[in-house]
Amino acid sequence: MARVQIDEFFCKGCGLCTEVCPCDILALNVEVITDKGYHPAYCTDESQCIGCANCATMCPDVAITVWR
C-alpha cells in the first residue's frame, strides 16, 4: 500500500498537486493555516493512493514524499 506524506513547512498551498492526482484524494485544508500563512495540501483518503507520485513530481517546493 502506498503512502503520501506532505511536509507543511514547505507547502505553499499552490494546489498543483491536487490537480494531478488521478485518484482525486489531495486537497487544500482550509481549516489549517501554516506558519507561513498558507492552506496546506493534505490527503483525504490515503487508502486510495496508488503511489503514482504525480503529486511529488509536480510539487515545485518538493514538499511531498511518496512511499510504496
Q: How far is the CB of 42 from ligand SF4 (least distance, A)?
A: 9
Q: How far is the CB of 45 from ligand SF4 (least distance, A)?
A: 9
Of 32, 30, 59, the C-alpha closest to 4 is 59
Q: How far is the CB of 37 from ligand SF4 (least distance, A)?
A: 13
Bridge-based pairing state of the strands 26-28 and 3-6: unpaired
Out of 12, 27, 34, 65, the only residue in the binding site for ligand SF4 (CB under 6 A) is 12
Rounded Cα distance between 2 and 34, Å, is 25
Out of 27, 34, 52, 65, the only residue in the binding site for ligand SF4 (CB under 6 A) is 52
